[in-house]
């Protein structure tokens, strides 16, 4: 009869038998991701969570530059200030404001040329100061390094029509030119009005023409003055 082995001896012999067999662990292969294919057979690049082209909020775009963008060396503001009005809106507003501002003076010179309020109002220099400031502001906004080159394009430093046409392709330049015309036309209309009061000549038609056709208005006043003088000498 064989002697009984102790439990510790049995455990030692079992561990010896287990360790005698080589233990090899092989990684479980991962299933390949299925990449969708285009109708022509080309593989499509799968979308990732980081492939969003820009932030959801446009105001935060300066704070999060795109990958590969070079920084200028200074921190970008979180919120970039926006202009209250665009260039086109400024030009349109200045055009309207300037036109409306000169209408009361023409109205008084045409409707009530001999009234005291008309004489006091026409003597004021306020409209010319206001139009001058507005014109200077529009000229500043419309000025470019090529402005003088376009104005004096010839070899004799004289303006040429093609250069002026290119310069007036901008709305801001057209608005500044309009304010310039309004100021000069109003000044010419005031001169016609004062000359009519001095020589007792009708000037309503001439002042009205000065609003939009200033050279024609001045010509009409000269013709009226000559005819009035001839009629006075005949009598």
- Measure the CA–CA gap between 58 and 73, rounded to whole angstroms: 22
pLDDT tens by residue, 26-35: 556 555 555 5
pLDDT at residue 21 above 50? no
Listed range (22-26, 127-131, 164-168, 226-230) with the worst mean pLDDT: 22-26
Q: What does pLDDT average to over the chain?
A: 76
Confidence of residue 12 (pLDDT cuts 50, 70, 90): very low
**Separation in Å, CA 139 to CA 26, 120, 127, 180:** 80, 31, 18, 10
At 10 the pLDDT is 47
Confidence of residue 25 (pLDDT cuts 50, 70, 90): low
Please enumerate, as own/partner, the contacts of 92-100 that have beta carbons within 8 Å and a separation of 24 or more: 92/171, 92/175, 94/134, 94/137, 94/138, 94/175, 94/176, 94/179, 95/175, 95/178, 95/179, 97/134, 98/131, 98/134, 98/178, 98/179, 98/182, 99/178, 99/182
At 235 the pLDDT is 64
Task: Give the helix ranges, DSSP H, for the chain.
Answer: 7-19, 87-111, 116-123, 126-142, 147-151, 161-167, 171-199, 204-212, 214-234
| Burial class of residue 167 (count of CB atoms within 10 Å of its CB; 0-12, 13-18, 19+) | buried
At 41 the pLDDT is 56
* 192 Cβ contact list (under 8 Å, min separation 6): 203, 206, 207, 210, 217, 218, 221
> What are 23's two structure tokens?
């233990």
* 93 Cβ contact list (under 8 Å, min separation 6): 85
- Measure the CA–CA gap between 168 and 161, rounded to whole angstroms: 11
Listed range (58-72, 109-123, 176-190) with the worst mean pLDDT: 58-72
Listed range (67-76, 94-103, 162-171, 219-228) with the worst mean pLDDT: 67-76
Out of 131-140, 145-154, 155-164, the most confident range is 131-140
At 104 the pLDDT is 96
At 28 the pLDDT is 62
pTM for the model stands at 0.62
pLDDT at residue 163 above 70? yes
Do the beta carbons of residue 106 and residue 208 sit within 8 Å? yes
């Amino acid at each position: 009869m064989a002697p009984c082995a102790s439990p510790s001896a049995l455990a030692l012999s079992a561990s010896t038998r287990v360790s005698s067999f080589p233990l090899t662990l092989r990684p479980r292969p991962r299933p390949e991701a299925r990449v969708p294919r285009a109708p022509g057979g080309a593989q499509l690049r799968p979308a990732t969570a980081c492939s969003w082209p820009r932030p959801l909020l446009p105001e935060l775009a300066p704070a999060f530059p795109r990958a590969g963008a070079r920084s200028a060396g200074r921190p970008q503001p979180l919120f970039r200030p926006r202009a209250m009005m665009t260039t086109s809106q400024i030009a349109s507003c200045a055009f309207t404001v300037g036109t409306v501002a000169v209408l009361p003076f023409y109205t008084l010179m045409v409707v009530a040329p001999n009234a005291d309020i008309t004489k006091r109002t026409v003597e004021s220099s306020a409209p010319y100061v206001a139009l001058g400031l507005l014109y200077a502001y529009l000229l500043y906004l419309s000025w470019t390094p090529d402005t003088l080159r376009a104005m004096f394009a010839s070899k004799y430093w004289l303006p040429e029509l093609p250069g002026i046409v290119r310069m007036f392709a901008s709305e801001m330049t057209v608005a500044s030119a309009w304010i310039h015309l309004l100021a000069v036309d109003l000044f010419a209309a005031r001169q016609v009005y004062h000359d009519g009061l001095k020589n007792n000549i009708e000037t309503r038609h001439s002042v009205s023409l000065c609003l939009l056709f200033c050279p024609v208005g001045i010509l009409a006043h000269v013709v009226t003055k000559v005819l009035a003088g001839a009629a006075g000498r005949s009598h």
